[in-house]
Structure 1
Amino acid sequence: MKVVVVGAGPSGLVTAKSLLENADADFPFDPIILEQEHDIGGTFRYRTYENASLVSSKQLTSFSDFRLPLSHPDHLTTEAYVDYLRDYIDHFNLSDKIHLNTRVINVKRHTEGGHIVSYVSKDAKDSEWSSEVTTIHTPYIAICTGLHVLPWIPSIPGIEHVVAVNNHIENPVFHSYEYKKRAQLQGKRVMILGTGETGTDIAYEAAKAGAKEVVLCSRAGFLSFPKQLNDFEVFGYKSDKGPGIPLDSLITNLAESAYVHPWVEGSHIRWFISDFVIKRLIWVLTGTQAGCNQWVGELEPERLGRAYVFLNKSQKAMPYINRPYRNRLKFFDYIARYIDPPEDSPPQTDFAVDLAPFPTHFLPNGRAVFAPSKRKDYIRMKDRDVRPELVIYATGYKQEFGFLDKTSGYPTPDEANIRNVVKEGDESVGFIGFVRPGVGAIPPIAEMQSFFWISLLKGKVRQPMPPPRYHLLVKETARIKYGVDHSTYMSTLAKDIGAAPGLWELWKEYGTHVLVCYCFGAAFTTFYRLVGPYKSASAPGIIRSELWDTILRRGFMGNLIMGVIPMIFYLSLNIIAFGLGIAWTMLGGRVE
């Protein structure tokens, strides 16, 4: 039963591995990975740049049964992550399943069922694709080409003037996927369009490279948080013991994603309450609730919080961005403060990255024009003569699937209405890795999606499935609608496939240590391999060591504030909802 997997990034690799491990007599899966590049790794290999590192922790990002040692740094460089993927391939003997330099050019439906996949190849030394087309007839196809492949470049009137004025510079306007080294930014007036993690990363790199000017343009603001919490100071006492706490390991399981009443889950009240508390907490610690020590670029109030946006965990540029705006009495800094990441001897101690709105257009002389508003960054920049020599679109990516035959009626990820993995009635086509968490990582989500897809193909997903309640809350007009809450999405998939453990079940089989770790830990994929169809013998050991370490790092006060108190509060909400649900059922209603 040949299964074609398109793409050899982390999603494609874990899907192939999951198919191999869960093949049986009825479903003898035999995956083959087709990758058009000459190496594995996808975005982490081909759309990365100098000094880039993951903003998700190794604890969350690593696959459930192939881990990195405790001694390894929490956040990997992109090079180190690709090495991790190579080790994953070797460990699970996937090499023979991977075909590099192989481009899928067409996928169409077979008249007798299944799909015909057509592809071309080239030798590693060749630059041209072979004219010889090879085909495979497959019952199933997993599309794992990734969210970040085709650049999305919005139209800005007059951008051609920037090119004309700066014709002495090679490539004065380009997308961030073409950015590779600091040397590209040195000595130039740089404008970066987009305040996602890539945009703020490049702003920092420009400051470090000795750019003459750096203007970072934000369309509607961003929400900044550090990827690792270790730089707080309270009454002069600095929390510098140990390696810090990865941000994505803080959200606990019990009553947050596990054992949540449908009414509580459907109302998203957990998200709203945690947003409310976090805003007040960071105000006490940093003096602003726009983000963690974020003094400009704030989101509008109705979009400020975990329920709405992807957190920007690239914190390195914040000292440069904050510099013109930070205004807090030293008295309050003594009580509590967050210390921005060290600037590491910047080329100019007074250098600032200027935040600005998106330009509406460029004048013939190359000057940027900004739309009037009440934003702090506009007020500061409105009279500035901003004429960039280099404009970099850090505007993200779009999804297109030109290889899917238009006459065959294939769905797109946006149309995958069953857990964002398949379209109802078209389960033989799986989209793996096409959601993005607000806080979290795509690779572990892809692993859970691969489990879900396999269970769906085998007819072993619980029915009926509850409605999806894991999507981030966005406007109908939003361009990106594939955002999810990481822990809610993971636990939903786990419940669907029978991999979400019960507390009594955990205690009986594994004891108190694993039970407590499950309750206090984040939604690590390893937790969903303790029971159910994807049970792994290595899971208990990983939980008792590596994942237990993430809980110990919080310390007593951290576990009290971020664990015990939220659990008690959310459990109380669930108990109230449970009681009301019983009463409603007795009156003839239904709890959904």
Structure 2
Amino acid sequence: MHDTPDPGDRRDAVCVVGAGASGLTAIKNLRELGFAVDCYERETSVGGAWNWRHDRSPVYASTHLISSRPFTEFPDFPMPDDWPDYPHHSQVLAYLERYAKHFGLGEHVWFGMEVVSAVPADDGRWDVTIRSTGGGSSRTQRYAAIVVANGHNWSPLTPEIPGDFQGQVMHSSAYKDPAKLRGRKVLVVGGGNTGCDIAVEAAQQAAKVWHSTRRGYWYAPKYVFGRPADQTNARVLKWGLPRRLREWIYRRVVRLTTGDLTRFGVPAPDHGPFESHPVVNSQLPYYLGHGRISPVPDVARFDGAAVELADGTRVEPDLVITATGYRPRFDFLAPELLDTDENGRPDLHLHAFARKHPTLAVVGLLQPDSGVLPLAHWQSVAIARWLRLRTTDPVRAAAVQQKESTRPLASWSRRQVVPSQRHWFEVDHIDYLRSLDGLLKQMETAR
């Protein structure tokens, strides 16, 4: 006879993993539909990635939003009107703390507790094993559903560069303070938003800065026609113009604002304007033009004090910062539960709903062309209503699930993108919200 744990049965309660922005909005929207919620947060406070005191936070001292305030705030809890267009990370954390306090979310969070496993049980329920991050014994509890909001920007994706380097190599996740750059020769690897931001910061602090990118990107300014770029872009999207015409407008705007950066040695993009995640940085052209940033190709190998580049040239930095992104990790779930492929990419409907487990969902696993918080809000609304429908009318819920499963992938996921891990979860926010709205309307009809 096997010795099996006797899980504490939480009946209709829902387990939420993580009390960052996505976890908080999941708690709120589940509670509003009457669910009991237990949220487990490994840290001792809310905020997730935006709390830079947390050891997994990718935030550094000067981090600001790259999406503007109206496109970042939760739709039912606006940020203060007197805040800047692009708030500092400390303001975003304060906003999330106020959000949690306003909706009374803290009483549903178990801090200093991490989920170590979640296993399907009978009737779509889950046996969730948790333990204190300070050590000690674990316990298992049974839940009606599990909503995962553990973030996807905390496990560094470190490039495998052959050879040995005598200097210092660090991932951008470990970069916190510009004092680290002062007076040094710095090579920044990676052309995304973080790589560009750190290169700009290094241009103000370091003795020499090289910026290595694998390919060319489309670099957009933070302001277009005097307004934040995402606000201008949203107006164009609402016009419903054909993609080809929108691309033409985008190219013209970039040429008139950012200009042609290839004259500074930056490689030309090898893809269309909407086929990669937008890089929003107004200062990069400034420091390129002043010679404070030297663009260089991809890194080929380390060789003692030198770094050899793809074109055969060699540079000798003191410090190499790899801003090469993060990998999604769900260590407490067996990979097949999220239909995860051999590369670690989960296959979820709307990047949220597990296809084979109707009571398993993920919030915030998105890379939108705007702020992620409004999308996480509507994701969690849809998840809460879906879980409620399963309990009130399981027959109709099955019908909704069958119809929803036929929705074309291209209707909610940006299909024409650069084939890289950076774009696994890429969505156009308006198309994505339309798809969520379609699901919500189906569930309203099903009532």
Question: Contact between 2:230 and 2:370, CA under 8 Å: does it hold in 1?
Answer: yes
Distance 1:423 1:499, change over 3 A: closer
Task: Between 93-102 and 456-465, report the one with greater CA deviation.
Answer: 456-465
Alpha carbons 1:359, 1:371 under 8 Å: kept = yes
1:400 to 326, 329, 347: 329
State how 1:151-162 maps to structure 2 within 5 Å. Answer: 151-158=156-163, 160=164, 162=165
Q: Which residue of 2 is the match for residue 456 of structure 1?
A: 386
- Counterpart residue number, 2:228: 246
Retained in 1: the 8 A contact 2:219–2:278?
A: yes
How far apart are residue 396 of structure 1 and its match? Answer: 0.2
Distance in 2 (alpha carbons) for counterparts of 1:14 and 1:113: 23
Instruction: Say if 1:283 and 1:289, in contact at 8 Å, map to a contact too.
Output: no
Change (3 A) 1:499 1:320: farther
In structure 2, relative to structure 1, the CA distance for the partners of 1:493 and 1:456 (3 Å cut) is same
| In structure 2, distance between residues paired with 1:462 and 1:252 | 31
Q: Cα offset for 1:294? A: 8.6
Matched, 1:43 2:49: yes
Give the 5 Å matches for 1:465-544: 465=404, 466-468=407-409, 469-474=411-416, 477-479=419-421, 480-498=423-441
Residue 229 of structure 1, CA deviation: 2.6
Deviation at 1:91, TM superposition (A): 0.6
Deviation, 1:44, is: 1.5
| Counterpart-to-counterpart distance in 1, 2:180 and 2:223 | 29
How much does 1:474 deviate?
4.5
Q: Distance in 2 between matches of 1:282 and 1:454?
A: 41
- 1:109 equivalent to 2:120? Answer yes
Describe how 1:92-131 pairs up with structure 2 within 5 A.
92-111=103-122, 113-122=124-133, 129-131=134-136
What's 1:360 paired with?
300
Question: How many angstroms does 1:499 deviate by?
Answer: 9.5
State the shift of 1:487 in Å.
1.2
Query: How far, CA to CA, are the matches of 1:59 and 1:193 in structure 2?
Result: 31
**2:171 aligned to which of 171, 175, 199:** 175
Structure 1 segment 244-323 matched on structure 2, within 5 A: 244-252=226-234, 256=237, 270-284=242-256, 287-288=259-260, 296-300=266-270, 303-306=271-274, 308-321=275-288, 323=289
C-alpha distance in structure 1 between counterparts of 2:103 and 2:178, whole Å: 37
Q: Structure 2 vs 1, CA of residues 249 and 354 (structure 1 numbering), >3 Å: closer, same or farther?
A: same
Identity over the aligned pairs, expressed in percent?
27
SS at match of 1:464: helix
Query: Which residue matches 2:200?
Result: 204
SS at the partner of 1:369? strand
What do the CA deviations read for 1:62-104 (whole angstroms, capped 9, x no partner)? 1011012322211111111000000001110111011111111
- Residue of structure 2 in register with 1:149 after alignment: 154
Matching residue within 317, 330, 338 for 1:388: 317
Matched, 1:135 2:76: no
Gaps of at least 5 residues in structure 1 are 24-28, 123-128, 167-171, 231-243, 261-268, 324-349, 373-381, 501-531, 534-592
Tell me the equivalent position of 1:192: 188
Deviation at 1:284, TM superposition (A): 4.6
- When Rg is computed on C-alpha atoms for both structures, the one with the higher figure is 1
Counterparts of 1:252 and 1:148, CA distance in 2 = 25
Taking the aligned partners of 1:177 and 1:88, their CA distance within structure 2 comes to: 26
Q: How far is the alpha carbon of 1:287 from its aligned partner?
A: 4.6
Q: State the distance in 1 between where 2:299 and 2:235 align.
A: 43
CA contact (8 A) 1:462 1:496 kept: no
SS at match of 2:220: coil
Letter in 1 for 2:66: V
Q: Alignment partner of 1:427: what SS?
A: coil
C-alpha deviation, 1:206, in angstroms: 1.2
Separation in 2, partners of 1:397, 1:252: 27
Separation in 1 of the partners of 2:260 and 2:244? 18
Q: 1:56 aligned to 2:67? A: yes
Q: Residue 441 of structure 1 aligns with which residue?
A: 371
SS in 2 for 1:75: coil
**1:181-218 deviations in whole A, cap 9, x for unaligned?**
01111111111110111111111111222x12111110
Whether the aligned pair in 2 keeps the contact of 1:118 and 1:135 (CA below 8 Å) is yes
Partner of 1:418: 349
1:369 to 308, 328, 340: 308
Q: 1:82-93 to 2 correspondence within 5 Å?
A: 82-93=93-104
Match of 2:8 in 1: none
- Give TM-score scaled by structure 1 length: 0.65
Distance 1:79 1:294, change over 3 A: farther
Q: 1:2 maps to which residue?
A: 13
Q: Compute the TM-score of the two structures, normalised by the length of structure 2.
A: 0.85
Distance 1:54 1:499, change over 3 A: farther
More strand, by proportion: 2
- Give 1:286 shift: 5.5
In structure 2, distance between residues paired with 1:488 and 1:196: 23
Where structure 2 has 5 or more consecutive residues not aligned to the other structure, the ranges are 1-11, 52-56, 390-396
CA-to-aligned-CA distance 1:504-543 (integer Å, 9 cap, x gap): xxxxxxxxxxxxxxxxxxxxxxxxxxxx79xxxxxxxxxx
Aligned length: 413
SS in 1 for 2:277: coil
**Aligned counterpart, 1:331:** none
Residue-by-residue CA offset, 1:311-353 (whole Å, 9 max, x unaligned): 11133233112x2xxxxxxxxxxxxxxxxxxxxxxxxxx5421
Q: Kindly state the Cα deviation for residue 398 of structure 1 after the two structures are TM-superposed.
A: 0.3
Cα deviation for residue 147 of structure 1 reads 1.6
Quick one: distance in 2 between partners of 1:194 and 1:249?
A: 26
Measured against aligned partners, the alpha-carbon deviations of 1:265-312 in whole angstroms (never above 9, x if no partner) come to xxxx8333201222134335565398xx99723311xx1212x11111
